[in-house]
Structure 1
Amino acid sequence: MFDLSHYPFASQRNTVIANRGMVATSQPLAAQAGLDILKKGGNAVDAAIATAAALTVVEPTSNGIGSDAFALVWINDDKKLHGLNASGPSATSISKEALVARGFDKMPMHGVIPVTVPGAPAAWAALSKRFGKLPLTEVLAPAISYAEQGYPISVTLGQNWQNGYKKYKETLTTAEFKSWFETFSIDGRMPEIGDIWASPGHADTLRKIAETNAEAFYKGDIADKIDAFMKQHDGFLTKDDLASYEVEWVDPIKVNYKGYDVWEIPPNGQGIVAQMALNIYQHSEAKWQDADTLHKQIEAMKLAYTDGKAFVTERDEMLVTTETLLSKDYGEKRYAEITDHALQPTPFDIPKGGTVYLATADADGNMVSFIQSNYMGFGSGIVIPGTGVSLQNRGYDFSLDENHPNFLKPGKRTYHTIIPGFLTKDNEAVGPFGVMGGYMQPQGHFQVVTHTVDFALNPQAALDMPRWQWIGDKRIDVEPHFPNYLVQALKRKGHDIHVATDGGSFGRGQIIWRDANGVLYGGTEPRTDGTIAAF
């Protein structure tokens, strides 16, 4: 375990310390919803569900009821970590041939076509049934209240909302997007920071999900509305696709990094990329704010991501096993390829993401790492009229190239960007962590873990550190406050360094660590409206 008493506490914000319960996420109102559930006798799982449901209301720029979700759940009595994959498959009627017949040579980004089966409502129900203490009707009550009564739009949320609104106003002009504008406008105009926004249809849908343990969403009234909308606008998703959906309980995968086990959900998620990078990099000696250390970190991430994009898809379709990619032999061989000069890996484009992450902990030592996302901001731009259900566009990551590992097939789950993380040592929980943001996520995981393990930064300091992001080829973007002497030194090593004009694409993270005495230490992201609610 970390000796948290000796952590350096120099940071933009202080680490929050408590021992009875803690919720860390990107929206204060959502964190408060989770804390309220803890105070009513709920456990960390109940708090995670309450927070996740509230986030669909108070941060619709990143997630919604139509999201996918993943979770890592530590049950302290069992000293065991449980994994939940609640990503949904493509429609059973979709195919490359069907898209080509409609004139597509790649998956579209928006509209009804890239929508896959949403997994979030099923995730809430499954987590509640297996580990929760309170009924789902009580756990979802705060989210229903926010949707029904409204709430004021916060600063970062408002900026992201306005950016999405302006973009959609220019590009999403056909009939299927009408309901999105009706839902996410106020009196027909773009919402402003401080405006009160409510969504009665959203509240009604959450109430039905709570009362039926999500059956209404997949087999009942809401499923009927989704089915009818898809038929009206020539979509592929049907009620049968929804009715046949089940979440998957999985065994989390781990890699040992300098004595700490770093856990992720196995593929189809990209968490393995962070683990591969750590597995490669751990053969290097880490030095604080050192150009050679950063160079090797970047090179390790480039190698891991190149392989991740080449191999990661549904597990039964992967050409290489996860065991091979996380093996000591793999890490050593890849590390041996790193030189003093920037490598030229196989290039690929990296889009920005739209995701929410939360971490919870209770007084009994149970902890949850939970992530939920519509993808690329508001997602597909599709809202089912009268329901508040904003659907994700995860199918956008499918390829129409038969030789690509992520080739589109009916009923297949795509390569997934959202990843919850968890840290343990000697079979004891250290705690949950995560960094939102599309293809930045494994890079954020990697940087948070190395800042924590190698340099003993407390949770807040680890999140406050300036970040870098590999974009492709030799290009590395860094945040505006990244030290200039390191920028210049990396350029001399052959990296194509770009100093970003803002921090919008560098992820948004949360951390909760627990010490041997049961004391909780929380850090929240300075790049969003994040907060820690604790008692």
Structure 2
Amino acid sequence: MSYFSPSFSQLFPKAAVSSIDPLASQAALDLIRHGGSAIDAAIAANAVLSVTAPDQCGLGGDLVALVFCPPSSRGPAQVRSLQAIGHSGTGASADILRSQGHGSIPRSSVQALTVPGAVDGWLALHQKFGRLRLDQVLDAAIDYATNGFPASTRLRRNFEQLRGFASAAPLGDFLGSTSVQPLVRRPGVGRTLAAIAKLGREGFYAGEFGAELMKLGEGVFRPDDLATPIARFSDPITSTIFGHTLSTNPAPSAGFLILGALAQVDTAPTEVGNADWYIALIEAFKKTAWMRAFHHDEIDLNAVLTNTIPAAAPRTQTVAAGPDTTAITAVDTNGLGVVLVQSNGHAFGSRLATPDTNIFIHDRGAVGFNLVPGDANELQPKKRPRHTLAPIIAQTPQGNLALLAGTMGGDRQPSILAQLVTGVLRDRLSPSDALVQPRFAFGSNSPSELSGFDTFDGIEEPIVTCEEHLIPSVLSELTRRLGAVKSTPAYGSDSGVAHLIIRHPSGWVTASDPRSEAVGVTGF
């Protein structure tokens, strides 16, 4: 079924970049034009977004990435996984919160803070795959932080969530007025980026930011918590689906939920966009819902995907993931490709920021851990939280890069990407047609402070939602066969802002997601 598309696919012969912000995408493309790699480009885009989109991502969050390395004289093509997911502090304690009467981890509690991994992720990626100097890669971000950038409508709207928090003050002069706005400057972030460019991780974890984080953490963090490098390279987990090899990150990321569901619809003979198409995918996630009970750090996800989990394997209560994240996809002139996904968790994360550098710290501890005694995700010292960042790379049977995909959307990331991957790889949709397709998701019956994180946390089965531009006859059929289906706004950001790049015989094809407020697709 076809829909009017507020987006269109674009073909770029040599290189392509997609992000939520044209400033970030342009900085990335400029580096590729000057000999930089896709990794240089993705880091540059993420660095710009850490300045211009503190509600979505930033230096105080975590990062995961997949890198496609094209074949070379050193060997065949391969995909590498990077996880830059920080651990809880030495002083993290579920007992403290339980003694205070909490049943869950408050979003703005210092116990919700974990060591931010994004900067370590940048440095590890750059060391292995970068071609330009780090100061060149971070130059555009430093310039926007120092000299100013125009705030997006999204940032102005999300700023309202900071009312009453001390962290709002540095942005309030620029975002708190209804009059014509000046350029927003974030000098503390600029200083921090310059320190990273000059000193690497010492300029961040052992620098001004690290000292402020230690003070902000009120005993949760100790110096050695920040001293150990966080980023880890590994092999991805893979499955052969739709005639392609799909790769995603291992635990504690959530990509395995995508692979598990897609394996259920590998050969389903359905027409794109009809009721059977949606029901096949919805039922696939319901059939594989048991996998969520094994979503924690260090689980053997290959065993989960083959349903060979031993009876004694630690299970966990389900706490879903957060809604404010950003994804970046890039491919360079040498065919090196990357999907980088970076997150603060909720908008502005914990809403706690370092006072002088004004870096918002994510709240992954609040949603990745819980207070259930003995649970595999119980808050404990030196432990990595469960994550939902879930990039996907697809390769052809010959090993060639076929697709790069990533999205924001919290606990909806698996269902969003499953729909896009099915549409593109199995049903041969163009990126724009796949992105414009109405999306289903699962929603919580009982929204809370952690709304967007708590979809699967409860006794009641999650409700099915679908965007309101779904054809009425299809919605009626879904309602008849599934029960009540809640309508959500057409092209709303709650349905995720996704990024796709696919291979074309003449280059790379990408498109902007109509759920984004700005077009950040570019290339040459």
Report the residue type matching 2:497 in the other structure: R
CA shift in 2, pair 1:219/1:52, >3 Å: same
Match of 2:386 in 1: 415
User: CA separation of 1:255/1:191 partners in 2, compared to 1, >3 Å: closer, same or farther?
Assistant: farther
Q: Report if the CA contact (8 A) 1:48-1:358 is conserved.
A: yes
Deviates most, 433-442 or 181-190: 181-190
CA distance in 2, matches of 1:193, 1:259: 53
Of stretches 250-259 and 133-142 in structure 1, the one that deviates more from structure 2 is 250-259
Say if 2:356 is the partner of 1:386. yes
Paired residue type of 1:205: T
User: Could you tell me whether the CA contact under 8 Å between 2:159 and 2:175 is conserved in 1?
Assistant: no
What is the CA distance between 1:383 and its match in structure 2? 1.1
Q: Which residue of 2 aligns with 1:438?
A: 410
Q: Secondary structure of 2:341's partner?
A: strand
Question: 1:403 Cα shift?
Answer: 4.3
Identify the residue that residue 325 of structure 1 maps to in structure 2: 304
Amino acid at match of 2:188: G
Q: Does the alignment pair 1:312 with 2:282?
A: no
2:285 corresponds to which of 284, 298, 301: 301
Give, in angstroms, the shift of residue 347 of structure 1: 11
SS in 2 for 1:410: coil
Moved more, 111-120 or 46-55: 111-120
Match of 1:245 among 216, 221, 229: 229
Q: Which amino acid aligns with 2:26?
A: Q
The residue aligned with 1:51 is: 45
Secondary structure in structure 2 of the residue aligned to 1:285? coil
Query: Is residue 174–residue 184 contact of structure 2 (8 Å, CA) maintained in 1?
Result: no
Change (3 A) 1:293 1:514: closer
SS at match of 2:345: coil
Determine whether 1:532 maps to 2:521. yes
Provide the C-alpha distance between the structure 1 equivalents of 2:5 and 2:168, rounded to a whole number of angstroms.
40
Q: Which runs of 5+ in 1 are unaligned?
A: 1-7, 331-345
Cα contact 2:208–2:357 (8 A) shared by 1: no
Matched, 1:32 2:26: yes
Whole-angstrom distance in 2 between the partners of 1:527 and 1:151: 22
427, 438, 443: which is aligned to 1:466? 438
Contact persistence 2:94–2:371 (CA under 8 A): yes
TM-score, normalised to structure 1, is 0.87
2:470 corresponds to 1:482: yes
Aligned-pair distance for 1:13? 2.3
The aligned residue for residue 453 of structure 2 is none
The residue aligned with 1:495 is 483
| Alignment RMSD (CA, Å) | 2.3
Letter in 2 for 1:324: A
* SS in structure 2 at match of 1:218: coil
Conservation of the 8 A alpha-carbon contact between 2:88 and 2:381: yes
Q: Any idea what SS the aligned residue of 1:109 has?
A: coil
Shift of 1:352: 4.9
Mapped contact 1:153–1:192 kept (Cα < 8 A): no
Pairing 1:32-431 to 2, within 5 Å after superposition: 32-76=26-70, 77=72, 78-155=76-153, 157-158=154-155, 161-162=156-157, 164-169=158-163, 173=164, 177-178=165-166, 180-186=167-173, 189-190=176-177, 195-231=182-218, 236-304=220-288, 306-315=289-298, 318=299, 321-327=300-306, 352-397=322-367, 398-426=369-397, 427-431=399-403
Give ranges in structure 2 of 5+ residues lacking alignment. Answer: 310-315, 445-460
Look up the SS of the partner of 1:118 in the other structure. coil
Structure 1 residues 89, 385: CA separation in 2 closer, same or farther (over 3 Å shift)?
Answer: same
**CA deviations over 1:137-160 (Å, ceiling 9, x no partner):** 1100001111111111233x24xx
In structure 1, distance between residues paired with 2:412 and 2:119: 25
Separation in 1, partners of 2:347, 2:180: 17
| SS of alignment partner, residue 184 of structure 1 | helix
Alpha-carbon spacing, 1:188–1:505, altered in 2? closer, same or farther (3 Å): closer
State the distance in 1 between where 2:37 and 2:272 align.
38
For residues 160 and 283 of structure 2, what CA distance do their matches in structure 1 show? 37
CA contact (8 A) 1:109 1:393 kept: yes
Does the 8 Å contact 1:379/1:390 carry over to 2? yes
Alignment deviations for residues 1-44 of structure 1 (CA, whole Å, 9 cap, x no partner):
xxxxxxx9984322111122211000110001101111221111
Number of matched pairs: 493
State the Cα distance separating 1:100 from its structure 2 match: 2.3
Q: Shift of residue 501 of structure 1?
A: 3.7
Give the Cα separation in 2 of the matches to 1:32 and 1:125: 21
- 1:15 & 1:216 partners in 2: Cα distance? 41
Corresponding residue SS for 1:214: helix
* Counterpart Cα distance in 1 of 2:249 and 2:212: 32
1-side partners of 2:371 and 2:438: how far apart?
Answer: 37
Q: Could you tell me which amino acid in structure 2 is paired with residue 431 of structure 1? A: L
CA contact (8 A) 1:153 1:193 kept: no
Give me the whole-angstrom Cα distance separating, in 2, the residues matched to 1:250 and 1:9: 40
Q: TM-score, normalised by structure 2?
A: 0.89
Deviation per residue, 1:259-289 (Å, 9 max, x gap):
0112110110011101110012225322232
Following TM superposition, by how much is the alpha carbon of 1:484 offset from its aligned partner in structure 2, in angstroms? 1.2
Q: Report the CA distance between 1:474 and its aligned residue.
A: 5.4
* CA distance in 2: counterparts of 1:227 and 1:278, whole angstroms: 43
Q: Once the two structures are superposed, what CA deviation does each residue of 1:435-476 show, in whole Å capped at 9, x if it has no partner?
A: 211011011110001111222111121111110102252511
In 2, Cα distance between equivalents of 1:444 and 1:46: 27
Amino acid at match of 2:353: V
Change (3 A) 1:293 1:193: farther
Q: Deviations over 1:322-349 (max 9, x none)?
A: 223223899xxxxxxxxxxxxxxx9967
Aligned residues of 1:352 and 1:439 also touching (Cα < 8 A): yes
Report how far residue 313 of structure 1 moved. Answer: 0.3
The one-letter code of the counterpart of 1:454 is: R
Cα distance, 1:525 vs. partner? 1.2
